[in-house]
């Protein structure tokens, strides 16, 4: 089982990670960061396969992937 | 659990200066990853232009210089010739490289300078407010072409094809940044460009097709769709030259 961690201070809520994810694991959450962006987070119970497509696309290098 | 993807060390610990969804950020990130992988953080000089690409100065944790508008290849020539042990990475946008800096890039390429040039092409002047660039598509709207670019404004300039007419360049490739697969391909191309420089092969030119959600007046997701539907049809990705003369 893999997982992604999003460093909320960098996220700009552009949704490129959501677009890149083949398993529909990510969604915009309700948490707002200091810059005013709604931070992306992993959906509850979602099955991440650790392909790192989201992290490859992220323009802010905000995503870390664990496998 | 093992960490398989993390933020590169060659990036400063702060958010980029770019708008949400701008693929400039992704480009900076993959260059920083390569700097980490080669272990060249202390010997890299990033030569930045005027325009949005200059915002890379908030991202790279390396030596940097912001040159005069369009003159980045000339500045880089001076640095590389005087300090050949440095890895010199030139990053320019289309408003910088293809308009005011057209002479500098042509002559640096024609001399076969031992540089790696990354050309971010998003088809518009980003920082100055969405004016028409030499690479703007026919029909694409800009603040200086409110009804869209027409033939009277000229046609989009294809820099890879133009540089491929010269004898001296060593490596010319156009990549896109619209999907994870394409980003990985772009990283491979930049890796090759840096290796060419380290091995003293000469001029490497990598064009990266990018977006500008703010000045294209659309969301980041829509801008990716626009790229796939229009931009990538006009600008064909591929290797134009690999290994010296064509």
* Reported confidence tier of residue B245, pLDDT bands at 50, 70, 90: low
Q: Say how many CB pairs under 8 Å bridge A and B.
A: 83
**In angstroms, how far is CA A22 from the centroid of its own chain?**
13
Task: Provide the token pair at B222.
Answer: 């829509």
Q: Is the dihedral of CA B28, B23, B140, B230 positive or negative?
A: positive
Which residue matches tokens 């992220």? A58
Chain A interface includes B13 (CB < 8 A): no
Q: What is the ipTM of this complex?
A: 0.94
Domain layout of chain A by residue ranges: 3-66
Rounded distance, CA B113 to CA B205, Å? 11
Strand partners, B2: none
User: Could you report the per-residue pLDDT of B132-165, keeping only the tens digit for each?
Assistant: 999 999 999 999 999 999 999 999 999 999 999 9
CB contact under 8 A, B26 and A13: no
**Using CA atoms, how far apart are residues A35 and B218, in angstroms rounded to an integer?**
21
How far is Cα B217 from Cα B89, in angstroms, rounded to an integer?
Answer: 30
DSSP B50-99: SSGGGGGGGTB-SEEEE-STT-HHHHHHHHHHH-TTSEEEEEEEHHIIII
Residue B229 has pLDDT above 70, yes or no: yes
| CB burial of residue A47 (10 Å; 0-12, 13-18, 19+) | exposed
Q: Work out the number of other CB atoms within 10 angstroms of the CB of residue A48.
A: 20
| Domains along the sequence of chain B with CATH | 25-242 (3.40.50.970)
Token pair recorded at residue A47:
């099955």
Cα–Cα–Cα angle for B27, B31, B32, nearest 5°?
115
Distance from CA of B61 to the nearest CA of A (A): 14
- What is the pLDDT at residue B44? 97
Segment B24-51 shows an average pLDDT of: 96
Torsion of CA B166, B170, B176, B181, to 10 degrees: 160
Express each pLDDT in B203-214 by its tens digit.
Answer: 999 999 999 999
Per the DSSP assignment, residues forming a β-bridge with B125 are B131
Is residue B197 pLDDT above 70, yes or no?
yes
Cβ contacts (< 8 Å) between B5 and chain A: which residues?
Answer: 52, 55-56, 63-65
Residues 6 or more apart whose Cβ sits within 8 Å of residue B42 = none
Query: Percent helix, strand, coil in chain B (nearest 5)?
Result: 40, 20, 40
Query: Which tens digits make up the pLDDT trace of A38-60?
Result: 999 999 988 999 999 999 999 99
CA distances B194 to A4, B105, B164, Å, are 30, 18, 19
User: Which CATH architecture is the domain A3-66 placed in?
Assistant: 2-Layer Sandwich (3.30)
Residue A60 distance to chain B (closest CA, Å): 6
A63 touches chain B (CB under 8 A): yes
Question: Both tokens of residue B192?
Answer: 């090759």
**Structure tokens that stand for A29 in this block:** 């959450």
- What integer pLDDT is reported at residue B244 of this predicted model? 66
Residues of B in contact with A23 (CB under 8 A): none
B22–A61 C-beta distance less than 8 A: no
How would you classify the pairing of strands B124-125 and B131-132? antiparallel
> C-alpha angle A40/A54/B235, rounded to 5°?
120
Give the single-character DSSP code of B114.
S
Report the relative pairing of strands A3-6 and A26-32 from DSSP bridges. unpaired
Q: Is the dihedral of CA B97, B28, A14, B128 positive or negative?
A: negative
């Amino acid at each position: 089982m893999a997982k992604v961690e999003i460093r909320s201070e960098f996220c700009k809520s552009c949704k490129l990670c959501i677009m890149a994810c083949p398993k529909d694991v990510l969604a915009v959450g309700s948490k707002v960061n200091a810059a005013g962006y709604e931070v992306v987070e992993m959906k509850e119970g979602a099955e991440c396969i650790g392909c790192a497509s989201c992290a490859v696309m992220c323009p802010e290098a905000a995503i870390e992937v664990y496998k | 659990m093992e960490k398989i993807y993390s933020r590169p060390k060659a990036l400063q610990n702060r958010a980029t200066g770019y708008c949400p969804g701008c693929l400039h950020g992704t480009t900076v990130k993959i260059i920083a990853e390569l700097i980490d992988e080669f272990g060249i953080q202390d010997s890299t000089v990033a030569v930045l232009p005027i325009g949005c690409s200059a915002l890379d100065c908030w991202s790279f944790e390396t030596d940097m210089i912001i040159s005069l508008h369009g003159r980045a290849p000339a500045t880089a020539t001076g640095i590389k010739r005087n300090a050949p042990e440095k890895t010199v990475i030139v990053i320019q946008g289309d408003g910088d490289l293809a308009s005011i800096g057209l002479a500098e890039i042509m002559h640096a390429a024609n001399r076969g300078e031992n540089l790696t040039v990354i050309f971010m092409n998003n088809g518009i002047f980003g920082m100055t407010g969405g004016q028409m660039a030499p690479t703007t598509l026919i029909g694409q709207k800009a603040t200086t072409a409110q009804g869209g670019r027409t033939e009277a404004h000229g046609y989009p300039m294809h820099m890879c094809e133009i540089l491929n007419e010269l004898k001296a360049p060593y490596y010319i490739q156009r990549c896109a940044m619209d999907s994870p697969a394409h980003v990985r391909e772009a990283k491979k191309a930049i890796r090759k460009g840096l290796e060419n420089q380290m091995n003293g092969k000469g001029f490497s030119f990598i064009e990266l097709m990018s977006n500008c959600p703010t000045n294209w007046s659309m969301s980041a997701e829509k801008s990716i769709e626009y790229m796939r539907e229009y931009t990538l049809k006009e600008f064909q990705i591929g290797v134009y030259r690999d290994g010296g003369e064509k």
